Structures are given as structure tokens and as C-alpha cells.
Amino acid sequence: MPDIVIRRVESDAHIHECATIMASSEPWLTLRRSYDEIRARLNCSDREVYAAFSGDEPLGFVVIMMAGAFVGYVHNIAVKTEARGRGIGSALLAFAEERIWQESPNVFMCVSSFNPRARSLYERRGYGVVGELSDFIVRGHSEILLRKTIGPISEHKEDRVASHVRAPS
């Protein structure tokens, strides 16, 4: 794996590069995601976009949502086709998990039924199937909802509150 640094994507040029990565590769071609749609979604204020950079070039990126029905949702992971198989996707996923576990004990994501390579990666990393959404994005294919957890929400909230309470002096 090349030397990479994962950092937040903030420039319009990097948003463009990330949207290009996603719009030109699977599974997003089959899911019929256009460049304009992807770019608009990457610019939404409810998403955090982080990229794996080699120098100033993003080789891949991850999009995280920390609000909504599934707090801690990995919305997308994409790696340039020519950079796949070098651990960049795994590094982005590990980064996303650590970011999410700061606020929630659960990481959620969906993987398309026609993407067995990605599903295998996620299952090797400890994700379990929560459910299947048939014909959710495209007819004839399902989105498989996955979850990885470090414990119940109630315990995670207690741990966070306890770590912020100071003992009396």
C-alpha cells in the first residue's frame, strides 16, 4: 500500500475527484449514480467525507453520516479502480469505524447483492447481516444492511457520560 494520509475532504477540486472516482466505477454504474448526483450528495452538510491521499491525490474516500435513523452509517466507500486491492478500502473503513465509535457503538452500511467482493471484505471485518432491502435502489438487486458493534447503545452512552464527569476535588 502506498503511503497514504486520511483527512477530511474540504476543497471543491477534491470533491470533484471523489465524485469522478465513484461515478466511473462499480457498483455505482449498476446503481445508476450520475456524477452530478454523487457530487451533490458529497456536498451535503449532513455528511463527513474523508479521503485517502497519496500526496494531494485522493485514491479513495469514505462518506459517513452521524445523524438519522442509523447513527454511524457508512454511506459510501470508493477506491480508484487502479488502486484497488492495496488495502486502501480497508484503511478507510478502519478510519470510519474509529470515527463512528467516538459517538456510537454501531457502524451500519449497505452492500449491493451483486458486489460479493465488498460483502466478503465487510464480513471478514466483523460485519453481520441485519436485513435485506429487495429492489431498494435498482430492480432485481438487493441492498444488504450490515452492522458491526462494540456494544449496546445504553452502555456506550453511560461510558461517554462517565468519562465527562469529574471526581470531586
Q: Report residue 22: phi and psi, to 5°.
A: -70, -45
pLDDT in tens, 132-148: 999 988 899 999 999 99
Angle between helices 88-101 and 116-124 in degrees, nearest 10: 50
Give the model's confidence band at 160: pLDDT under 50 very low, under 70 low, under 90 confident, else very high. Answer: low
Supply the CATH classification number for the domain 5-164: 3.40.630.30
- Burial code (b: 16+ CB inside 10 Å, e: under 16) for 87-101 equals ebbebbbebbbebbb
Full-model pTM = 0.86
Spans of all domains in the chain = 5-164
Q: Residue 161: its pLDDT value, please?
A: 38
